[in-house]
Structure 1
């Protein structure tokens, strides 16, 4: 696990918990994780 993976994990989890519609508004952000 790199720092980038950890960073994405924390940020995506935090953002998604605060804004459940994040995936609908910014699908590219989630696609970047793939």
Structure 2
């Protein structure tokens, strides 16, 4: 389930033009 969320956030992030570094930072904040 976490993997699905991770992939979803990356897909959403690319849609908004976020970099992988920005997305990883967002994911770490949620934990």
Q: Given the two structures, how large is their TM-score scaled by the length of structure 1? A: 0.47
Greater fraction of residues in helix? 2
User: Which structure has the larger Rg?
Assistant: 1
